[in-house]
Amino acid sequence: MQWSQVLLRIYLLGALFLLQCCSAQSQLVSDEMQTTLHENLKYYLYFPKEYAAQPESEFGLLLFLHGGGESGGDLEDIKKNGPPKLLVEGKQFPFLVLAPQNPHARKWWNTEAVVQLLDSVIASTRVDSKRIYLSGLSRGGSAAWEMATQYPNKFAALSVVCGMAPLPYAHWIDKDMPMWIFHGDKDEVIAVDESDKMVRKLRKMGYDVRYTRYKDVGHNSWERAYTTDSLYTWMANQKRMD
């Protein structure tokens, strides 16, 4: 093979290599897009009877997140369980209760939208921002875990009923926020092991966690958890110090 042919072959191979590199790079595009998300959240807001009688006072607020069974339907559906059910039955709370509805029957809660609603209510009422309590059951309990990790400086207390969360979430929760967890040991929807492992992890890390593990109770552990009067007394006694 003549030297000129060798040089030509080297040139052609080099050109082919550069062409392949350019072709690969042309498939990788750098760009950005600003997204917007709109969520229509219907909700109930309860005011304690003392709210009107004490116009100079600030009050705590309980944010309650319902389960999957009340999602995506009529707002009336959220009165089936938890604090909204108790309110219908005549129970009085010493703090406001905010109960939004997840508008999607088969989607997780949009926790960012829930926080926007919460902040709006706080801004327009006499709510003490250091006495915001968070609770949820089942799918709402899982969302409560999520919110406790995403907004660790927002809540004075957390109560989760038959919810679940990845164990690494434990590292992101405010260590000064007390928690009370409820679960039934016969739960076939969200296994009690989900709460067992999370509580064990949190306690190992030095967190203040109460755990009520009901014997021979299934997924509907909320029926007993939310009729525990001491739960609301415990909540009302909590306040953020930061």
Q: Are residues 26 and 75 in the same domain?
A: no
Q: Are residues 21 and 71 in the same domain?
A: no
| The pLDDT of residue 35 | 86
| The pLDDT of residue 79 | 97
212-222 burial by CB neighbour count: b if 16+ within 10 A, else e? Answer: bebeebebbbb
Q: What is the DSSP string of 215-229?
A: TT--TTTHHHHTT-H
Contact call for residues 41 and 63 (beta carbons, < 8 A): no
**How many other C-beta atoms can be found within 10 angstroms of the C-beta atom of residue 103?**
17
Does 37 map to a domain?
Answer: no
Q: Are residues 21 and 49 in the same domain?
A: no
Q: Indicate the SS3 state at residue 101.
A: coil
Does 38 map to a domain?
Answer: no
Tell if the pTM clears 0.75, that is, is over it.
yes
Does 24 map to a domain?
Answer: yes
What is the token pair recorded at 121? 């209510």
Which residue range(s) make up the domain with 203? 43-236
* Amino acid type, 221: S
The CATH number of whichever domain residue 171 belongs to comes to 3.40.50.1820
> Using 50, 70 and 90 to split pLDDT, how confident is the model at 8?
very low
Section 112-125 average pLDDT: 97
Q: How many domains does the chain have?
A: 2
Q: Are residues 158 and 129 in the same domain?
A: yes
Contacts of 11 (CB under 8 A, 6+ apart): none
Q: CA-CA distances (angstroms) from residue 163 to 88, 158, 192?
A: 24, 12, 9
Residue pLDDT, tens place only, 215-237: 999 999 999 999 999 999 999 99
Q: Are residues 71 and 105 in the same domain?
A: yes
Q: Are residues 24 and 54 in the same domain?
A: no
Q: Are residues 117 and 208 in the same domain?
A: yes
